Structure 1
Amino acid sequence: MPPKKAPAAEKKTLLGRPSNNLKIGIVGLPNVGKSSFFNALSKTDLGKAANFPYATINPEEARIPVPDPRFDWLCEVYKPSNRIPAFLTCIDIAGLTAGASTGAGLGNAFLSHVRAVDGIFQVVRAFDDAEVTHVEGDVDPLRDMEIIQTELRLKDIEWTEKALDALKKTTRGLGSTSLADRAKKEELATVERVLKTLTTDAKDVRKADWNNKEIDVINGLQLLTAKPVTYLVNLSEKDYVRKKNKWLPKIKAWIDANNPGDPLIPFSVALEERLAPLSDEEREEEQKNAGAVSALPKITQAGYASLDLIRYFTCGPVEVRAWTIRRGTKAPQAAGVIHSDFENKFVCGEIMAYEDLREHGSEAAVKAAGKLRQQGKPYEMVDGDVAYWKAGA
């Protein structure tokens, strides 16, 4: 008898909305540099930067091009008349204060704006400046991070308790025989476990281990602590240039203890504001003079990756374009990002890896090397694929 094949590992469902059009929100206490950071990142003055709390009330939105040397190389090779990189949609959200979960400050409006995004850039202030008041009176990043974590968790606990009460009402008197009844009971057990994670275990939802059925339930709850967080520490320009700040090791230790694995990126809003209006040549010169480079490309890439987003490319003399999809997307759904007809009438994809195109130098050479593959509906897209779609009439 031939040996039995090992069962294929179950594909892990991703936390969050099952969409390719995801957004990241800038979150933090008032006066930590959120709107100034948003303006520098988006090269706009949409964010209302001011030295008082709640200068931002309605969220501002901008699409930020995601730097990618692969895209730049493809543009050099194809010399297209149109170049469209991948974008990260970024939202500037009002400052959060202690008590927001019970409605203090702009509490409920703020938390509904956080609920509407898919990931979080948490801006943490680690610079002293007598000119810029701190809503808590003094600069203490650990206290600030604790406030935000507590407020997000408290709101999640409130929402989870409401969901639990509603479920308990509908599951009373259910039998255990029908599949629908069993599914309802499993949903109830998951929501109870979510509440235990937030209260007894004192953990963010994204830091617990969940199976696929549980993740489907959690995604329906739209919890704040299920969203990925990238910590951005705003330093003075002097500290950023010398790569030294008394708070950085303490912030790193706090993240390791509370949310291990979350990325931490130091940057300086003061430097970014100076660099933002400059031309590419001027920026290069200024970075050389300052002895430090902008952290914005790294921040944009980290935010994009935190949402489990990848891109594939379509190339030709008319257009080179990066298309954003979620990790694990199959070929027909990836084609559907361009047009729904490509998904509905999908035939196949002609796909080559970016690395193969780079190595061989042209499509013809990739084809001659036998590296151009025809892929059908089960194919899962890989970051950096170069694709041509074939669809039925």
Structure 2
Amino acid sequence: MPIKIGLVGLPNVGKSTLFNFLTKKDILIANYPFATITPNVGVMLLADSRLEKLSKCWQSKKTTPSVIEIVDIAGLVKGAAQGSGLGNEFLSHIREVDLICQVLRCFPDQDIVHVEKSVNPIRDWEIIQLELIEADLQQIERKLTKLKIRDEKTQKEKNVLQSVQEKLTQEIPTSQLDLTAAEKELIKGYHFLTNKPVLLLANYSGEEKEVHELREHAKKKGLFFFPLAVKLEEEMTELSAAEKKELG
């Protein structure tokens, strides 16, 4: 099974443009929230020069590269965990991915609506993070209400859940908790949203100061950071080989 990467972010931050660029598809891109309703799914081929050399060396009849599945998930808004926007449906789609790629808007463009009225990627990251935390807290509360202590294992499970719950209320994601291997195994089946690896992708168009601020924020939080001028990259793919060579 290929690894699934979910593109997550507020509406109109460039998720669908990024999806088209990575998967070479052509899905709707519109200047209004929730242009994406159901997730768009595509695959991205992983170019590997080693595979190409081996294929030529062994004169393979067929060469099959590895792929990554890309899932373009509908835009999140404040209150998603309480049902705002696409609410729980949005969050359920995130549960199915292996890695969350948070697409954060750093580019200024008055013609493209921003649901929060201004460009501030760190604030947008905090909105997403709080919604993921809230969703995990709701899941724990539901489980603790139903959990019946029948043996030592269920007692340990309850203890771990209560410990995770306490940290989440302090806005500490599950991925940052110092859990033992046995404790991780007890909560493995919950697929907590805050336990998934996260990549922050800064979608920029020029030398925006927001990119530098987000880079420092990611470093402080211990998160992977990658800046990408998504629109420019997509436009570059349409150039001919000669044009690309001329631009270097």
What is the TM-score normalised by the length of structure 2?
A: 0.94
1:138 to 118, 122, 125: 118
Structure 2 residue 238 is the aligned partner of structure 1 residue 269: no
The answer to whether the Cα contact below 8 Å between 1:43 and 1:276 also exists between their aligned partners in 2 is: no
Query: Is 1:286 paired with 2:244?
Result: yes
| Equivalent residue number for residue 252 of structure 1 | 215
Q: Which amino acid aligns with 1:265?
A: F
- The equivalent residue for 1:107 is 87
Q: Report the AA paired with residue 271 of structure 1.
A: L
* Residue matched to 2:130: 150
Q: Structure 1 residue 118 and structure 2 residue 98: aligned?
A: yes
Q: Superposition pairs for residues 103-252 of structure 1, below 5 Å?
A: 103-167=83-147, 170-171=148-149, 174=150, 181-200=151-170, 202-236=171-205, 239=206, 244-252=207-215
Superposition map of 1:306-317 within 5 A: none
Give the stretch that moved more between structures: 246-255 or 96-105.
246-255
Q: Give the aligned residue type for 1:59.
A: P
Unaligned 5+ runs, structure 2: none
Q: CA deviation at 1:108?
A: 1.4
**C-alpha distance after superposition, 1:40-78 (max 9, x if no partner):** 1100113x2100000000101111111223212212322
Alpha-carbon separation, structure 2, partners of 1:287 and 1:55 = 36
Task: Report SS of the residue matched to 1:139.
Answer: coil
**Aligned Cα RMSD in Å?**
1.7
Name the structure where helix makes up a greater proportion of residues: 2
Return the offset for 1:22.
3.2
Once the two structures are aligned, what percentage of the paired residues are identical?
39
Letter in 2 for 1:131: D
Structure 1 counterpart SS, 2:63 = strand
Give the letter aligned to residue 244 of structure 2. E
CA distance in 1, matches of 2:228, 2:16: 14
Q: Please say if residues 37 and 272 of structure 1, whose CA atoms lie closer than 8 Å, have aligned partners that are also in contact.
A: no
Runs of 5+ consecutive residues of structure 1 not aligned to the other structure: 1-19, 175-180, 292-393
Letter in 2 for 1:74: L
How many Å apart are 1:278 and its aligned residue? 4.4
Q: 1:251 to 1:287 in 2, by over 3 A?
A: farther
Supply the AA of the counterpart residue of 2:191. Answer: Q
Match of 1:35 among 7, 16, 39: 16
Query: Structure 2: how far apart are the matches of 1:161 and 1:118?
Result: 24
The code of the aligned residue for 2:232 comes to: L
Could you tell me how far apart the structure 2 residues matched to 1:122 and 1:102 are? Answer: 20
1:317-366 deviation line (CA, Å, top 9, x unaligned): xxxxxxxxxxxxxxxxxxxxxxxxxxxxxxxxxxxxxxxxxxxxxxxxxx
* Aligned match of 2:58: 78
2:3 matched to 1:22?
A: yes
Query: Are 1:94 and 2:94 counterparts?
Result: no
Distance 1:129 1:224 in 2: 31
Q: CA 1:138–1:65 in structure 2 vs 1: closer, same or farther (change >3 Å)?
A: same
Aligned-partner Cα distance in 2 for 1:42–1:35 = 10
Q: CA shift at 1:245, angstroms?
A: 2.8
One-letter amino acid of the structure 2 residue matched with residue 252 of structure 1: R
Flag the 1:62–1:186 CA change in 2: closer, same or farther, 3 A. Answer: same
Q: How many matched pairs?
A: 248
The structure number with the bigger radius of gyration is: 1
Q: TM-score, normalised by structure 1?
A: 0.60
**Does the CA-based 8 Å contact 2:204-2:211 persist in structure 1?**
no
Cα deviation, residue 268, structure 1: 0.8
Between the aligned partners of 2:105 and 2:137, the Cα distance in structure 1 is 27
Instruction: State how far apart, in whole Å, the 1-side matches of 2:57 and 2:116 are.
Output: 54
Q: Which amino acid aligns with 2:5?
A: I
